């Protein structure tokens, strides 16, 4: 059984055998597992179709931007793995802070200095900087695993302490 599926096992009790065992849970488990297998195979097909290493792919390694890779990664690696509210939070943070700085850049050209400049210029709290860093690091780690880039550019970035200006304090 897939490890991810075990975390989402249904806990519905419909009836009992005469000696106390759950009956309907087995049928529910089988139908949920079949649905899960179907979704997993569709995701595998989509990954193979859009994989930049695949010669029949519609993604090109040299021109693949962070925006394209982010949308591909969310659709194929996060959808169904994390809760929809988490994906929504990722998208809000990405669209509000990351997209305007790094979204247009080709994935292979993004360096640690670009991420550090972005984090420094945003002027956000260190907790929010950690959230941004976590999203970017995860996206780049998937790109490293798919051989799109050699190393994760989020490594060795530092978080500046948040200092309020006079206008922010008022």
pLDDT, tens digit (0-9, with 9 covering 90-100), for 70-115? 999 988 888 888 898 999 999 999 999 999 999 999 999 999 999 9
Quick check: is 91 in a domain? yes
- Assess whether 100 and 36 both reside in one domain: no
Quick check: is 53 in a domain? no
Quick check: is 135 in a domain? yes
DSSP string of the chain, one letter each residue: --HHHHHT-------B-TTS-BSHHHHHHHHHHHHHHHHHHHHHHHHHHH-TTSTT-S--TTT-BHHHHHHHHIIIIIBTTB-HHHHHHHHHHIIIIIHHHHTTSBGGG--HHHHHHHHHHH---HHHHHHHHHHHHHHHHHHHHTTSSSS-TTTT---PPP---HHHH-
**Residue 85: which domain range?**
63-169
- Assess whether 74 and 141 both reside in one domain: yes
pLDDT, tens digit (0-9, with 9 covering 90-100), for 23-55? 445 555 555 556 656 656 665 555 555 555 555
Quick check: is 50 in a domain? no
- Assess whether 19 and 86 both reside in one domain: no
- Assess whether 70 and 34 both reside in one domain: no
What's the pTM? Answer: 0.62
């Amino acid at each position: 059984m897939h490890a991810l599926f075990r975390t989402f096992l249904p806990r519905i009790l419909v009836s009992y055998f005469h000696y106390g065992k759950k009956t309907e849970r087995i049928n529910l488990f089988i139908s949920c597992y079949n649905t899960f297998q179907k979704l997993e195979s569709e995701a595998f097909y989509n990954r193979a179709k859009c994989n930049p290493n695949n010669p029949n792919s519609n993604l090109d390694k040299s021109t693949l931007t962070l925006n394209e890779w982010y949308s591909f990664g969310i659709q194929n690696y996060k959808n169904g793995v994390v809760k929809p509210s988490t994906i929504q939070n990722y998208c809000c943070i990405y669209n509000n802070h990351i997209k305007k700085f790094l979204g247009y850049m080709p994935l292979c050209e993004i360096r640690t200095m670009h991420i550090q400049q972005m984090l420094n210029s945003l002027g956000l709290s260190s907790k929010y900087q950690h959230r941004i860093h976590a999203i970017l690091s995860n996206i780049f780690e998937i790109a490293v695993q798919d051989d799109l880039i050699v190393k994760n550019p989020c490594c060795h970035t530092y978080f500046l302490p948040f200092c309020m200006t006079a206008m922010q304090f008022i």
